[in-house]
Amino acid sequence: MPPESSGRAVIVGASLAGARTAQALRRGGWTGPITMIGAEPHPPYDRPPLSKGILLGRADRAGIALLSAEQCAGLGIELRLGRPAVGLDPVARHVALGDGTRVGYDALVVATGSAPRVLPETVADGPRTGVHVLRTLDDALALRESLSAGARVVVVGGGFIGAEIASSCRALDLDVSIVEADRVLMGRGLGTRLGAAAAVRHSAHGVRVLLGRRVARLHGQDRLTAVELDDGTELPADVAVVGIGSRPATGWLEGAGLTLDDGVVCDETLAAAGVEDVYAVGDVARWRARRYGTTLRTEHWTGAGEQAAAVAATLCGTRTEYDPVPYVWSDQFGAKLQIFGRVRPADEVVVLDGDPESDRFIAVAGGEGRLQGVVALNAVKAAIRLRRSLSEGASWPSVIDDLRS
Ligand SMILES: Cc1cc2nc3c(=O)[nH]c(=O)nc-3n(C[C@H](O)[C@H](O)[C@H](O)COP(=O)(O)OP(=O)(O)OC[C@H]3O[C@@H](n4cnc5c(N)ncnc54)[C@H](O)[C@@H]3O)c2cc1C
């Protein structure tokens, strides 16, 4: 039984998933108090523009706001910003904040997202001007400031965010290299064949793509001067951006009785295992995905909003399972890359139209007898059509037969 909708809802994490949960709770008829607690000093803002419009100077702070302090006040949502949650007592039902206060709840929603991984100390020994990560608005503004004309940039990590940063740097006409330990670019999202094509595309746009290499050491006393790779290559650099993935922000939940395993482990309704009336949404949630018969955790903008809607519906009295076709997009070199579903290393990939090394293509991936993923670059309409087959769980042979007939 979910708690009464006149109870007190507390949301920890004041960003996309948290803000969307608060809004959906009010829309769904939650009449009780809602408190949203955020570690950052800013009201909720959108992260995708941080690696795109903000770096390019085409978007600003106001343009990426998700929910202003005034809108929160209008919805009766209490915002407590600049104060991280540091602990949870699910028996006494309160959250402890860094300033020593406690906030009681009837329903708790964990929306603390993820935090960037950093280089080991053997590689980056101490702080140096010029070394950045990109997760927050403050990170993005600091990085933007350092991207002055003529700056030489090394992006460490060739995932989506690294690839977007490289693309933005090229748009600013900067010298940029990507160093990726894997043999393929964006391999986790695109698989081997399409990831290899993406590396060709990045090279064609002027990015130096160094695959199968790791960063061995950062050079420079107080300011970065070069990035040394594990084969001895030294890349002169003024700026390094470390984009080597992120970890779910669950440190504050250690020992609280929740099941933590690369995220807050939840059931199909995003209810946290091991405790009552606690839910997780967004990058921090690992939920039981019926569609795949396994647990999943994604770091996708669309999923965060959908999860917020599902949890709010459950809390407002309509038990709602979350079983989506995962979706992520990425903007690089003026083209929109979209991935519906998933592409795993062993999946068969068939290119239906266009050329993956160019600025337009559409491809499907299949495995275990089913259509598993659709990948499109600048082919939005065709991708939406195939998405239906994906959500219906279409068999791989039937998809291939249809396409050949
Ligand atoms: C640079 C960048 C570009 C992206 N581009 C895309 C894209 O093109 N397409 C796409 O699909 N996705 C993209 N994403 C991913 C997308 O932005 C995330 O999936 C989304 O932000 C997840 O929302 P969230 O609310 O779960 O987590 P977050 O947005 O990470 O928010 C979590 C919030 O919780 C706060 N917090 C953490 N710990 C505590 C604590 N103990 N107490 C209180 N507050 C805490 C954090 O400070 C943060 O404000 C991008 C992400 C980044 C960083």
Query: Is the pLDDT assigned to residue 153 strictly greater than 80?
Result: yes
Instruction: Express each pLDDT in 385-402 by its tens digit.
Output: 899 999 999 999 988 888
- CB-ligand 1 contact for 49 (6 Å cutoff): no
- CB-ligand 1 contact for 20 (6 Å cutoff): no
Q: What is the DSSP letter of 164?
A: H
- Output the average pLDDT for the chain: 95
Distance, CA of 64 to CA of 54 (rounded, Å): 9
Task: Evaluate whether 289 touches 307 at the Cβ level (below 8 Å).
Answer: no
Residue environment code for 227-255, b if the CB has 16+ CB neighbours within 10 A, otherwise e = bbbeeeeebebbbbbbbbebebbbebbee
Query: Is the pLDDT assigned to residue 403 strictly greater than 80?
Result: no
CA of 301 to the centre of ligand 1 (A): 8
- CB-ligand 1 contact for 84 (6 Å cutoff): yes
Q: What is the DSSP letter of 356?
A: T
Task: Evaluate whether 376 touches 382 at the Cβ level (below 8 Å).
Answer: yes
Nearest Cα to Cα of residue 28 among 319, 324, 326, 325:
319
Instruction: Express each pLDDT in 271-325 by its tens digit.
Output: 999 999 999 999 999 999 999 999 999 999 999 999 999 999 999 999 999 999 9
Q: Determine the residue type at 31.
A: T
| pLDDT of res. 130 | 96
Instruction: Quote the tokens at residue 381.
Output: 């309409």
CA of 306 to the centre of ligand 1 (A): 14
CA of 15 to the centre of ligand 1 (A): 6
Region of 80 (left: φ > 0; alpha: ψ -120 to 50; beta: rest) is beta
Query: Is the pLDDT assigned to residue 127 strictly greater than 90?
Result: no
What domains are defined for the chain? 9-115+247-315 (3.50.50.60), 131-244 (3.50.50.60), 334-404 (3.30.390.30)
CA of 112 to the centre of ligand 1 (A): 8
CA-136 nearest atom, ligand 1: 53
Instruction: Quote the tokens at residue 318.
Output: 């309509």
> In degrees rounded to 5, what are phi and psi of residue 385?
-60, -45
CA nearest ligand 1 atom 28, residue: 113
CA of 126 to the centre of ligand 1 (A): 26
Task: Evaluate whether 338 touches 380 at the Cβ level (below 8 Å).
Answer: yes
CA-19 nearest atom, ligand 1: 25
Query: Is the pLDDT assigned to residue 1 strictly greater than 80?
Result: no
CA-330 nearest atom, ligand 1: 8
> 10 Å Cβ neighbour count for 206?
14
- CB-ligand 1 contact for 39 (6 Å cutoff): yes
CA of 212 to the centre of ligand 1 (A): 28
What is the enclosing helix (H) or strand (E) of 32?
none
